[in-house]
A and B are shown apart, each in its own frame.
Chain A
Amino acid sequence: MDRPVSKNPGTNRGLPKTDPGRPVARIVTPVLFRFGALIVVMALVAIVGMVLSLRAVSHLTDEVEPAADANAAVLQDLTAMNAAVSSWALSGRSSAVDDYVQALRRLPADQQKVRQFAGDDAELDLLVARLEERTQAWLDAYSEPRIVAKGGPGSYNPQRFRQGQDLFAKVEAAHQETQDAFDTRVRDASDEATLFFRGTIAAVAVLALLAWYLIGRSRARLLTEISEPLRALETAVQRMARTDLDARAEARGPKEVRSVAIALNNYADAQGRARAVEGRIQNELRVLDTAKDDFVSNVSHELRTPLTTISGYLEMVAEEFEGQLQPRHERMLEATRRNVTRLKALIDDLLALSKAESRATDLEAADVTTLVRDAVTDVRITGARRGIRVEVSAPAEPMMVLSDRAMLQRALINVLSNAVKFSHDNGQVDVTVKKLEPHQVEIAVQDHGIGIPQIELDRLGTRFFRASNAVTNEIAGTGLGLRIVQTIIDKHAGDVMIESTEGKGTTVFIRLRLHGYGGLRVAEDPTED
Chain B
Amino acid sequence: MARIVVADDDVDIRELVEFKLSTLGHEIVAVGDGAAAIAACQAQRPDLAVLDVMMPGTSGLDAIRAIRADPNLVDLPVILLTARAQESDVETGFDSGADDYITKPFSPRELASRVEALLSRSSGRS
Confirm or deny: B119 has a beta carbon within 8 angstroms of a beta carbon on chain A: no
Q: Across the interface, which residues of A come within 8 angstroms of B84, CB to CB? A: 297, 301
Minimum Cβ distance to chain B for residue A162 (Å): 155
Q: Contacts A309-B10, A313-B16 given; indicate if A304 touches B83 (C-beta within 8 A).
A: yes
- Contacting residue for A308 out of B54, B87, B105, B109, CB 8 A: B105
A301 & B87 in contact (Cβ 8 Å cutoff): no
B87 & A406 in contact (Cβ 8 Å cutoff): yes
Confirm or deny: B94 has a beta carbon within 8 angstroms of a beta carbon on chain A: no
- Contacting residue for B109 out of A305, A307, A313, A319, CB 8 A: A319
Within 8 A of A (CB), among B22-80: 54
A308 & B19 in contact (Cβ 8 Å cutoff): no
Query: Which of B13, B16, B83, B107 has the most C-beta atoms of chain A within 10 angstroms of its own C-beta?
Result: B83
- Cα A306 to Cα B54 in complex, Å, equals 14
Minimum Cβ distance to chain B for residue A150 (Å): 163
Report 7 cross-chain contacts, Cβ distance below 8 Å, ordered by A residue.
A305-B104, A308-B83, A308-B106, A309-B10, A312-B16, A316-B20, A406-B87
Contacts A305-B83, A307-B105, A309-B10 supplied; 11 other A-B pairs, CB < 8 Å: A297-B84, A304-B83, A304-B104, A305-B13, A307-B104, A308-B13, A308-B106, A309-B12, A311-B107, A313-B16, A315-B107
- Cα A313 to Cα B17 in complex, Å, equals 10
Main secondary structure of the interface of A (DSSP, over half): helix
- Contacting residue for B83 out of A301, A310, A319, CB 8 A: A301
Confirm or deny: A22 has a beta carbon within 8 angstroms of a beta carbon on chain B: no
Query: Which of A307, A308, A344 has the most C-beta atoms of chain B within 10 angstroms of its own C-beta?
Result: A308
Minimum Cβ distance to chain A for residue B89 (Å): 10
Type the 1/0 row for A341-361, where 1 means its CB is closer than 8 Å to any CB of B: 000100000000000000000
Q: How large is the interface on B (under 10, 10 to 19, 20 to 34, 35 or more residues)?
A: 10 to 19
Q: Across the interface, which residues of B come within 8 angstroms of A305, CB to CB? A: 10, 13, 83, 104
- Cα A306 to Cα B13 in complex, Å, equals 8
Q: Contacts A308-B13, A316-B19 given; indicate if A301 touches B54 (C-beta within 8 A).
A: yes
B16 & A309 in contact (Cβ 8 Å cutoff): yes
Closest residue of chain A to B84 (Cβ to Cβ) is A301
Confirm or deny: A111 has a beta carbon within 8 angstroms of a beta carbon on chain B: no
Closest residue of chain B to A344 (Cβ to Cβ) is B105
- Cα A336 to Cα B13 in complex, Å, equals 19
Q: Across the interface, which residues of A come within 8 angstroms of B104, CB to CB? A: 304-305, 307-308
Confirm or deny: A194 has a beta carbon within 8 angstroms of a beta carbon on chain B: no
- Cα A306 to Cα B108 in complex, Å, equals 14
B54 & A312 in contact (Cβ 8 Å cutoff): no
Type the 1/0 row for B87-126, where 1 means its CB is closer than 8 Å to any CB of A: 1000000000000000011111100000000000000000
Chain A residues bordering chain B, tally (CB within 8 A): 19
Closest residue of chain B to A300 (Cβ to Cβ) is B83
Q: Across the interface, which residues of A come within 8 angstroms of B108, CB to CB? A: 312, 315-316
Minimum Cβ distance to chain A for residue B53 (Å): 10
Q: Across the interface, which residues of B come within 8 angstroms of A306, CB to CB? A: 12
Q: Across the interface, which residues of A come within 8 angstroms of B109, CB to CB? A: 315, 319
Type the 1/0 row for A274-313, where 1 means its CB is closer than 8 Å to any CB of B: 0000000000000000000000010011001111111111
Closest residue of chain B to A310 (Cβ to Cβ) is B105
Q: Across the interface, which residues of A come within 8 angstroms of B19, CB to CB? A: 316
- Cα A309 to Cα B17 in complex, Å, equals 9
- Cα A307 to Cα B12 in complex, Å, equals 11
Q: Across the interface, which residues of B come within 8 angstroms of A344, CB to CB? A: 105
Minimum Cβ distance to chain A for residue B61 (Å): 15
- Cα A304 to Cα B84 in complex, Å, equals 9
Within 8 A of B (CB), among A303-336: 304-313, 315-316, 319
Q: Across the interface, which residues of B come within 8 angstroms of A310, CB to CB? A: 105
Minimum Cβ distance to chain B for residue A56 (Å): 111
Minimum Cβ distance to chain B for residue A408 (Å): 13
Nearest 8 A/B pairs, CB to CB:
A304-B83, A308-B105, A309-B12, A301-B83, A308-B104, A312-B16, A307-B105, A311-B105
Q: Across the interface, which residues of B come within 8 angstroms of A309, CB to CB? A: 10, 12-13, 16
Closest residue of chain A to B9 (Cβ to Cβ) is A305
Q: Across the interface, which residues of A come within 8 angstroms of B16, CB to CB? A: 308-309, 312-313, 316
Q: Across the interface, which residues of B come within 8 angstroms of A319, CB to CB? A: 109
Closest residue of chain A to B14 (Cβ to Cβ) is A309
Type the 1/0 row for A187-229, where 1 means its CB is closer than 8 Å to any CB of B: 0000000000000000000000000000000000000000000
Q: Across the interface, which residues of A come within 8 angstroms of B10, CB to CB? A: 305, 308-309
Query: Which of B16, B20, B105, B106 has the most C-beta atoms of chain A within 10 angstroms of its own C-beta?
Result: B105
- Cα A301 to Cα B87 in complex, Å, equals 15
Minimum Cβ distance to chain B for residue A315 (Å): 6
- Cα A308 to Cα B87 in complex, Å, equals 20
Closest residue of chain B to A304 (Cβ to Cβ) is B83
- Cα A305 to Cα B13 in complex, Å, equals 8
Minimum Cβ distance to chain A for residue B111 (Å): 9
- Cα A306 to Cα B12 in complex, Å, equals 8
Query: Which of A309, A344, A406 has the most C-beta atoms of chain B within 10 angstroms of its own C-beta?
Result: A309
Closest residue of chain B to A313 (Cβ to Cβ) is B16
A312 & B83 in contact (Cβ 8 Å cutoff): no
- Cα A406 to Cα B16 in complex, Å, equals 32
Q: Across the interface, which residues of B come within 8 angstroms of A307, CB to CB? A: 104-105
Q: Across the interface, which residues of A come within 8 angstroms of B105, CB to CB? A: 304, 307-308, 310-312, 340, 344
- Cα A187 to Cα B59 in complex, Å, equals 129
Closest residue of chain B to A351 (Cβ to Cβ) is B85
Minimum Cβ distance to chain B for residue A488 (Å): 15
Closest residue of chain A to B23 (Cβ to Cβ) is A316
Query: Which of A300, A304, A307 has the most C-beta atoms of chain B within 10 angstroms of its own C-beta?
Result: A304
